[in-house]
Structure 1
């Protein structure tokens, strides 16, 4: 059968994936102002469930009522009201026997809107590079964040734990910890963001400590049967060209350490998942994650072409492919591929519409951070 690997079943932590297609997390800013999920979001996610994907990873969900929110109208999991609002969305996805994972996110210094505070926090008082994202409602440079205290670090770890427990209560099958794209956990991992001189920096091993501890705390809280994954990248919302200083050597340290934790999978995102990530003749980021961690790997980055995705899987560089722009243009992409139907190309200008102008139900994809900036989904 064509695309045999793409349509093969597999398991993660006793959860069956009917194929290797996963919907990537994509920022939409279409929740209620207070962070509650709504019917628009339910319809959006259910379209992918109907379209044949084996699993869906939610947009980034903020975790507390302090510093974690990154964008106006971003959904949260910081209260009972948030939990109850997500339940109909989760039920709509599960109705089609599709797995649903909640991506838990702390925006850190890259926050550009927060209904709870006007301040931001990060490992050190280092402002992100570049400008805020206009189509997310931001403008001008990022503000300089406050350096986190030990108390702040403990509070954030506890917020991740409580948010994971709320995700479990809402019915999600697991959580994905957002450790990519320049948000808080990635800021701890990044050398120029993390200028701490304590046990959380400045060596790479110390910069990994916050991520390792967060994973451990979440696993201890949710138990062994709840899926726990993490998303990792070199590139950032504010720095699309960033690379780890020591290339594959850093990748080996990072992914080896993650492989020793209680994670069930690693989700990596790059401009092109099939391209060398550390210079000519180097591994792809997915291959590095696979080789050094020993964990199942989800690859993201320009994998809408089924032949390209199939090759990546057959070469054992990844176990799953996650799609962003290709899924936006084709919410039924797995069904199309299986039935040999044409796949529509992604049209940024016609797909990326402010929600005030969205009238057609098929265009409820309000604001997505996508290839216009760094070639991958957030």
Structure 2
């Protein structure tokens, strides 16, 4: 295949608009949520607005923001991560929305509660204990507060409030962070959920908390306002963890969330090209789409030659081709593609891919994290 033919193929495959609920994303490229801690006091400033607008102007169709804390004392573990409550923070988010829309993109906030990943005594509310389904850390050790029914109701209400606020501020949808070992995912995983009430036990019961959050958000916004759900098998610090060892087990998780009103699933993997289960080439996003009938986003080392763990070792990631990605998109295995580190290193990654300027792509270096623009 010639360079010109490859560029044409990429443009044709990735430049197609896609409808999520009542919103149309101008192309199939999304920016993956990535925590930055560049919001002092939890308030996103003009630099944050410029950061996201630059990616939208660079061809990204859908921006999914870094995780932003819902209104609950135990939701966060840093006062430099943005929050999604309080007049000062919401004014900042309004400017972010305006900037991204002016640049031609769409944008959704990722709503986040860290659960047991919270460090005891950490800001923004030092007195709030780490809270989770059973008070267990990801390694299974007791280290926090087992949530009561009142706690659950408060967190569910906090997510619903944030979803309604996002629609009021002009966002194009919301994403619920149900992945990577944070609060919602802690309920889904048997190692951290040892409850004996209606929120624990069977895989379907462990999904109840997540489904109630989805349903509450769905009820708090307009019927066509997109509600995305991010999920993963792996957890931070446990990359071999699995919620579902088989497609049937995955169906037990996906079905209640679909019934609760998820518009699309964002399926987080470390390497998008790896099959999720033996006997099929489908990755996690492909399986979730097949089982749920909902659109899916895939993510995982797109456009780079190593996975994100290399970032923690301060390693550079070289540019990699996306032919395998296009193969899967062309057969509708999934619907959108989320880009992470490649967009950190190169704000114009999307435009360069769509325009065939692959020779101008910038490799990602971990040192860029200190000077992101």
**Smaller-chain TM-score bracket:** 0.7 to 0.9
Q: 1:19: how far off?
A: 1.1
Counterpart position of 1:333: 349
TM-score, length-scaled by structure 2 = 0.88
1:125 aligns with 2:135: yes
Cα distance change of structure 1 residues 205 and 65 upon mapping to structure 2, 3 Å threshold? closer
1:81 aligns with 2:99: no
Query: Equivalent residue of 1:89, what SS?
Result: helix
Contact 1:27 1:60 in 2 (8 A): yes
Query: Equivalent residue of 2:256, what SS?
Result: helix
Query: Equivalent residue of 1:180, what SS?
Result: coil
Counterpart position of 1:108: 115
CA shift digits 1:108-130 (9 cap, x unpaired): 00123331134110000212239
CA distance, structure 1, for counterparts of residue 178 and residue 274 of structure 2: 21
Counterpart position of 1:347: 365
Decide which of 44, 49, 55 is 2:56's aligned counterpart. 49
Counterpart position of 1:32: 40
Cα distance change of structure 1 residues 245 and 52 upon mapping to structure 2, 3 Å threshold? closer
CA shift digits 1:317-356 (9 cap, x unpaired): 11000000111122111210122112222222x2222xxx
CA shift digits 1:258-278 (9 cap, x unpaired): 222311110001011120124
CA distance, structure 1, for counterparts of residue 178 and residue 72 of structure 2: 20
Query: Equivalent residue of 1:187, what SS?
Result: helix
Contact 1:62 1:104 in 2 (8 A): yes
CA distance, structure 2, for counterparts of residue 282 and residue 263 of structure 1: 25
Q: Which segment is superposed worse, 324-333 or 198-207?
A: 324-333
Q: 1:279: how far off?
A: 4.9
Q: 1:311: how far off?
A: 1.4
Query: Equivalent residue of 1:57, what SS?
Result: strand
Query: Equivalent residue of 1:191, what SS?
Result: coil
Counterpart position of 2:149: 150
CA shift digits 1:34-91 (9 cap, x unpaired): x111112111111101100111000000001411013330100122222112111110
Counterpart position of 1:17: 25
Counterpart position of 2:318: none
Contact 1:181 1:233 in 2 (8 A): yes
How many residues in Structure 1 have an aligned counterpart in Structure 2? 343
CA distance, structure 1, for counterparts of residue 160 and residue 354 of structure 2: 39
More helix by share: 2
Contact 2:75 2:113 in 1 (8 A): yes
Q: Which segment is superposed worse, 246-255 or 335-344?
A: 246-255
Equivalences for residues 182-221 of structure 1 within 5 A: 182-221=181-220
Contact 1:65 1:78 in 2 (8 A): no
Cα distance change of structure 1 residues 122 and 282 upon mapping to structure 2, 3 Å threshold? farther
Equivalences for residues 259-270 of structure 1 within 5 A: 259-270=258-269
Structure 1 unpaired stretches of 5+: 131-141, 365-378
RMSD: 1.8
CA distance, structure 1, for counterparts of residue 91 and residue 164 of structure 2: 13
Counterpart position of 1:371: none
Q: 1:246: how far off?
A: 3.0
CA shift digits 1:273-299 (9 cap, x unpaired): 120124575631011111001001000
CA distance, structure 1, for counterparts of residue 238 and residue 139 of structure 2: 6
CA distance, structure 1, for counterparts of residue 139 and residue 168 of structure 2: 37
Counterpart position of 1:7: 15
CA distance, structure 2, for counterparts of residue 36 and residue 347 of structure 1: 27
